[in-house]
Structure 1
Amino acid sequence: MKKRMMSILLLATMVTGLIAGCGSTKKEAKNDDDVVTVTWMTSRPVDGEIDQVMHEIADQYSKEKGGKWKIEFETTADRPSYLQKLKTLIAGGNMPDIIDIDADPYCQELVDAGMLVDVKQFLKDNDRYDDFYPIALKYQEFTDGSMYTLPLEYHVEMTWYNKEIFEQYNLTPPTTMDEWLNVCKTLKDNGITPISVDGVDRWPVQRYLAMLPFRETGNDFIINLRDGKEKMDSETGREAAEFMKEMGQYFNDGFAATDYATAQSMFLDGKSAMYYIGDWEIGAMQDAYKQGKIDYFYLPTIEGAKTQPNEFCINSGIGMAFNAETFDEKTKDFILYVIDNYGKLYAGKQQMSPIKTDLPDDVEYSDLYLKIQEDMQSTGENFLKPWDTYLDSNTNTVMQDNLLLLASGDLSVDDFCKLVDDSIAEYTK
């Protein structure tokens, strides 16, 4: 608690400097011929669908009504590098006009220091709140219901499976956790790698740790764990760790050193039977799905589950946040223009839009896209929110790094739980 308070006090000092006029990155017009430039520091794949659509909208806006105003994109796709650079800029009193950030503890510090725009209020004041899918907005909220980030994507996560391998061993897509473990055991007993995993990026492994607690408590366990009101060394926490340890024996050999592309290639090449990833990989999965080689299933459930079978990991990704000090009328107008035009353009690139929109008539959508889109229309109200958005950065690193050891059998459940609990105790004291 003391550490968080010190961070908030430091940020409050910074925002005082911003108010005094030393922190804005916006290039204000000094005379009538100057162009006002808004900076967006973004962490998206360069030339990815979001990047393409936002550049298109920015160009379109400038042509239609931009006048002497433009937006400059500064992209750092590597998330750790991006966050380090962002924190350095903000600590130096040079916060960009628009940033990408999750609704995580660091974002909360910026909010507490008065540095970010209340996006929920902005949307409601401008009659745009209901333009979004409810879960897409709910994902961006803090646990108190406040919201300071705007979503630009919308995803469901699922486990893809190789139909040919499943049929060969008379397996069916599991609907319960016990069935899933039995499927994995059967595959391993027959010399098949059950699951390929990207261990390099850590978060895919962390998803497995979150699965049982979500079925048992929704997001209550991780919220209470973060706040120091719950322990990893509790019944729910230990069950999660035991599940993680058991599932780990079914991951591909050397999974801790396996990167995103390799894990996916293993699955698509038939070298593993299952692979957990989200709908953002529709493009990669399309051919194999069309050929009838693969399909997917959502998070299996448990007896007495608090959450329903149609409730699983749904997210709207990293959000846009706005510098409260430089959020002027022109920038507000641009963001409203984005909201009004983004949905159809983004969906036109066969992506799931967080903004409700009719699909463009001139785009031929795959059966896989339409199937997943239909799934998304019938999800429940609860969703598994990734744990890395809840935890402080140090605890998240401790958890993710040691998960690799836990899953590989090189760390005991007792030791793993103690490491996590010690880190949270240090953060909350």
Structure 2
Amino acid sequence: MRTTWRRACAFAVAPLVMASAVACGGGSGDDAEGTTLRVIVNISPNLTEKYWNDLFAQYEKKHPGVKVKLELTGTISANAKLTQDLAAGDPPDVAQQITPTPENASLFADLSDQPWAADTPLAEQYAIDGKRYVVGVGEQIQSLVFYNKAAFAKAGLDATKIRTIDQFTDAMGKLKSAGYKPLQTSGQWVTGAQFSMMADAGVLTEDPKWTAKRNDGKVSFADSGYLPYLEHYKEWIDTGHLDKSALGLTYADGQTAFLNGKSAMYIMGSYFVPAADAAKKSDDIGVFTMPTDGAYPSGQFGNMSNPYVVVNKSRHRAEAIDFVKWLVTDPAAIKSQLAADGNLREGFSYPMSSLGASVQKILDGAPSVIVKSGPSQPIAGFSDELNKQVQSLYTGASAQDAAEGLDQWWNSQS
């Protein structure tokens, strides 16, 4: 196992937009028996409402005076729910899956004076001006291609031989001829996320400071390695390797389609492993690191998993900090969260399927884990804009159009 892991998350996590006019209203968060902590999380196929409630119950059992209340977000993200609550003057206490930025760091408690925070995964990489506002449970890697072993056998493909994007494209053609949808995608956030998992592995392995340079206006999407990846992606749409109707699918729909054998490959993060395990399909699925137009194996695009922040306006700041400390330092809580979402942390192990072990092997062999944080953190809202531009390729936009659109948007935010 690697002695040092470097990583930073999930594309699906949008940085929080600064909430304005934050007042001090809303409910007290207390009841007759003690303190109630309101916690916002993202619900996913792996991290279900039941999972969170069961996890929180473990804390409540050890802390009889505290009740942890799961704040359901409905159809919006944790980020949007937090922004909404802050704007309404009804702040929650803790939020999961939020990445603070220099612009909004003041909304969150500075945990730099908490000795335990320094020992959490990627604490240094996610620091802002040397201060720690977010702590996490583990790490994810995301530049992975999962594949249906039966489909590869039928198409006569050897996954270990697929190292370049041209070889990847050729494999898709053979899989299509063998009767499979070559590459599974879906709508929502998945389209842009998969593109990022692919392109970042190539571009940021070659130049780890590319995003920082874009922040300084020294590089552009239209005149860099991102344009060829957009051209590859557009080619896959035009040749039918990517199904245009897939934009109508949810994240869960796309995952189910791949698990059911309707498609041959699926670009996704390590958090896909628990879904395959739950479906009892892990032994039927293989995985290889994302092919690139450059070095192979590339660095793995990754992130802090299960990041938590304590909201500065929390009415129970001390209790909220203690709860977050438990989430990221208690061995049982750590192992539960790692196993639930297929994440990794040095010094912690849990029973893994053959697929999980294969992902671990890829991490061990990766030359780096690419973290988009600190100076290399994109402008707030970039993930949504990237998703929009990648999806525009399905409706007639060219790769050049998408690259220039990303540049225009980025410049407009400066």
TM-score scaled by structure 1?
A: 0.75
For residues 281 and 416 of structure 1, do their structure 2 counterparts lie closer, same or farther at Cα, with a shift above 3 Å needed?
Answer: closer
Q: Measure how far apart 1:101 and its partner are.
A: 4.3
The 1-side partners of 2:56 and 2:242 are apart by: 40
1:151 correspondence with 2:144:
no
The 1-side partners of 2:303 and 2:110 are apart by: 20
Q: Measure how far apart 1:96 and its partner are.
A: 1.6
Q: Aligned residue for 1:334?
A: 323
Q: Give CA-to-partner distance per residue, 1:108-136, whole Å, 9 cap, x none.
A: 4321xx221223x14xx424533x344xx
Contact 1:151/1:354 (8 A) holds in 2: no
Contact 1:213/1:236 (8 A) holds in 2: yes
Point out 4+ residue stretches in structure 1 off by more than 6 angstroms.
Answer: none
1:55 correspondence with 2:56:
yes
Q: Aligned residue for 1:92?
A: 88
Q: Which amino acid aligns with 1:60?
A: K
For residues 416 and 358 of structure 1, do their structure 2 counterparts lie closer, same or farther at Cα, with a shift above 3 Å needed?
Answer: closer
Q: Aligned residue for 1:221?
A: 210
Q: Which amino acid aligns with 1:117?
A: A
Alpha-carbon RMSD across the aligned residues, in angstroms, is 3.4
Q: Give CA-to-partner distance per residue, 1:249-296, whole Å, 9 cap, x none.
A: 421242222322332333233332211122323243243332xx3211
For residues 337 and 172 of structure 1, do their structure 2 counterparts lie closer, same or farther at Cα, with a shift above 3 Å needed?
Answer: same
Q: Measure how far apart 1:422 and its partner are.
A: 1.6
Contact 1:350/1:365 (8 A) holds in 2: no
Contact 2:138/2:338 (8 A) holds in 1: no
For residues 365 and 217 of structure 1, do their structure 2 counterparts lie closer, same or farther at Cα, with a shift above 3 Å needed?
Answer: closer
Q: Aligned residue for 1:280?
A: 271
The 2-side partners of 1:62 and 1:415 are apart by: 55
Contact 1:215/1:302 (8 A) holds in 2: no
**What is the correspondence of 1:161-172 to structure 2 with a 5 Å cutoff?**
161-172=147-158
Aligned length: 382
Q: Aligned residue for 1:118?
A: 110
Q: Aligned residue for 1:424?
A: 410
Q: Give CA-to-partner distance per residue, 1:88-123, whole Å, 9 cap, x none.
A: 22123332221234325xx54321xx221223x14x
Q: Which amino acid aligns with 1:275?
A: Y
Contact 2:39/2:92 (8 A) holds in 1: yes
1:176 correspondence with 2:164:
yes
Higher helix share: 1
SS in 1 for 2:95: strand
For residues 241 and 75 of structure 1, do their structure 2 counterparts lie closer, same or farther at Cα, with a shift above 3 Å needed?
Answer: same
Q: Give CA-to-partner distance per residue, 1:305-341, whole Å, 9 cap, x none.
A: 3xx6262122234521112344644333333333224
Q: Aligned residue for 1:4?
A: none
> Quick one: higher RCO (CA 8 Å, sep 6+), 1 or 2?
2
Q: Aligned residue for 2:355?
A: 368
The 1-side partners of 2:335 and 2:321 are apart by: 20
For residues 424 and 365 of structure 1, do their structure 2 counterparts lie closer, same or farther at Cα, with a shift above 3 Å needed?
Answer: closer
Contact 2:180/2:264 (8 A) holds in 1: yes
Q: Aligned residue for 2:184?
A: 196
The 2-side partners of 1:203 and 1:79 are apart by: 18
For residues 358 and 206 of structure 1, do their structure 2 counterparts lie closer, same or farther at Cα, with a shift above 3 Å needed?
Answer: closer
Among 252, 273, 282, the residue aligned to 1:289: 282
Among 230, 236, 255, the residue aligned to 1:241: 230
SS in 2 for 1:316: strand
Contact 2:41/2:71 (8 A) holds in 1: yes
**What is the correspondence of 1:296-311 to structure 2 with a 5 Å cutoff?**
296-303=287-294, 305=295, 309=297, 311=299
For residues 289 and 355 of structure 1, do their structure 2 counterparts lie closer, same or farther at Cα, with a shift above 3 Å needed?
Answer: closer
Contact 1:228/1:424 (8 A) holds in 2: no
Structure (1 or 2) with the larger CA radius of gyration: 1
The 1-side partners of 2:27 and 2:40 are apart by: 11
Unaligned stretches of 5+ residues in structure 2: 1-16
Q: Aligned residue for 2:12?
A: none
Q: Which amino acid aligns with 1:155?
A: Q
Q: Aligned residue for 2:68?
A: 71
Q: Which amino acid aligns with 2:87?
A: A
Q: Which amino acid aligns with 1:240?
A: Y
Unaligned stretches of 5+ residues in structure 1: 1-6
SS in 1 for 2:214: helix
The 2-side partners of 1:34 and 1:163 are apart by: 55
For residues 400 and 331 of structure 1, do their structure 2 counterparts lie closer, same or farther at Cα, with a shift above 3 Å needed?
Answer: closer
Q: Which amino acid aligns with 1:263?
A: G
For residues 334 and 215 of structure 1, do their structure 2 counterparts lie closer, same or farther at Cα, with a shift above 3 Å needed?
Answer: closer
Contact 1:176/1:301 (8 A) holds in 2: yes
Contact 2:121/2:138 (8 A) holds in 1: no
Contact 1:197/1:204 (8 A) holds in 2: no
SS in 1 for 2:225: helix
**What is the correspondence of 1:135-146 to structure 2 with a 5 Å cutoff?**
137=123, 140-141=126-127, 146=131
Among 103, 107, 110, the residue aligned to 2:99: 103
Q: Which amino acid aligns with 2:275?
A: A
SS in 2 for 1:194: strand
SS in 2 for 1:154: strand
Identity of aligned residues (%): 18
The 1-side partners of 2:320 and 2:179 are apart by: 58
Q: Give CA-to-partner distance per residue, 1:166-191, whole Å, 9 cap, x none.
A: 22332221122232122123334555
Which shifted more, 84-93 or 346-355?
Answer: 346-355
The 2-side partners of 1:153 and 1:75 are apart by: 23
TM-score scaled by structure 2?
A: 0.78
